[in-house]
Amino acid sequence: MDQVHSISPQITFDDFLKVDIRVGRILAVDLFPQARKPAFKLTIDFGPEIGTKQSSAQITVNHTPEDLVGTLVLAVVNFPPRQIGPFLSEVLTLGVPDANGNVVLIRPDRDVPVGGRLY
C-alpha cells in the first residue's frame, strides 16, 4: 500500500528550530499489551542534559526488542508528555513508513554521542 501525502505548508527556519530533535540510545524495550495497536514501550537515554525518557512506539512489524536495545534513535524531546492508556509517553520517537505503511525508525548510520541535536 503506497501512502501519498501532500507537502505541508512552508515554515520558517525559526519554526524548525522550535522542534528539538535529539539522538538517544535505547536502554530497554518492553511489550505494551494495553496499547490499541501493537506497540513497544521504549526507555531511551538522551544524555545528562535531558536524561532518560520513555516513549510508546508502534514499531512491532519492522523491529524486535532484541534488535532495538543499544541502538540509536531520533526523537522529538520538547513535545508535552502524552498519556497512552496507563503509560506516559515523554518523547516522540521518529520513523518513516515502509512500502506497507509500517514504521521504520530513523537511526543514525554510525555511533554518535547521545543528546546531540538534529540540524
For the segment 41-94, what is each residue's pLDDT rounded down to a tens digit?
Answer: 999 999 999 999 999 999 999 999 999 999 999 999 999 999 998 999 999 999
Q: Is residue 113 part of a domain?
A: no
Q: What is the pLDDT of residues 70-79, one digit of tens each?
A: 999 999 999 9
Full-model pTM? 0.91
Q: Is residue 1 part of a domain?
A: no
Q: Is residue 115 part of a domain?
A: no
Domain count, the chain: 1
Task: Give bridge partners of residue 28 from the DSSP assignment.
Answer: 43
Q: Is residue 44 part of a domain?
A: yes
Residue 41 belongs to domain with CATH number = 2.40.50.140
Of 15, 14, 3, whose CA–CA distance to 101 is shortest? 3
Q: Is residue 56 part of a domain?
A: yes
| Strands annotated E in 1-119 | 21-31, 40-45, 52-57, 72-76, 82-84, 87-89, 92-93, 95-97, 103-105
Q: What average pLDDT score do residues 5-27 get?
A: 93
| Range(s) of the domain holding residue 33 | 13-97
